[in-house]
A and B are shown apart, each in its own frame.
Chain A
């Protein structure tokens, strides 16, 4: 079974600075997707960024980018120019093509605080 690990339960960053959240996963599959979701205090889960495993180029969405290292099974999220609104829980998630609908695995989350 696949597992997703986020080794940093909590992180903090100064406003306007850059922070990197780590995520590692374990799988024997070669084709899969990885996601980062953000959960602010409102509890709403919001998709931040996604990465297809077959793509070597790292995904970027405005201030959010990933460092995808397939061989190392690592998928870190970099937030540049951090803003107060970035404060939230961040979840890394893995999804494979097998067992449609079932195999969507989340990590335990990293709570990010942004300091003014």
Chain B
């Protein structure tokens, strides 16, 4: 099993350019997430998808859009990149929470994005 994979690993964009970060998981997880990691701030949730066909905003959704293409894939799109979006982006997945337990999240290797 590859777990959670992300492409690309590195990307440099100019202000105003657009791009899509791809994420896929092979663990048959229902829930998927996109985080950004900035120095001194830990990880902050951008968007999540509790199940196929649903997406919801997290803590910092502005400037981003997402698509849950199918159960395996969850993409993050930057329509018009800004320098403030320079960050490391992580995709994660987990089994669906139940009333009995909350499951840990499995993370991809991250994408380092620089916007100049």
Which residues of A come within 8 Å of B, CB atoms? Answer: 4, 9, 33, 35, 37, 42-47, 50, 52, 91, 95-97, 100-102, 104, 106-109
Contacts and interface: CB of A to CB of B under 8 A. Distances in A.
Contacts of A9: 40
Contacts of A97: 97, 99, 102
Contacts of A50: 104
Contacts of B97: 97, 100-101
B76 interface: no
A32 to B, nearest CB: 8
Contacts of A95: 102
Contacts, number: 57
A104 B49 CA distance: 13
B56 A106 contact: no
B109 A42 contact: yes
Nearest to A35: B104
A37 B92 CA distance: 13
B41 interface: yes
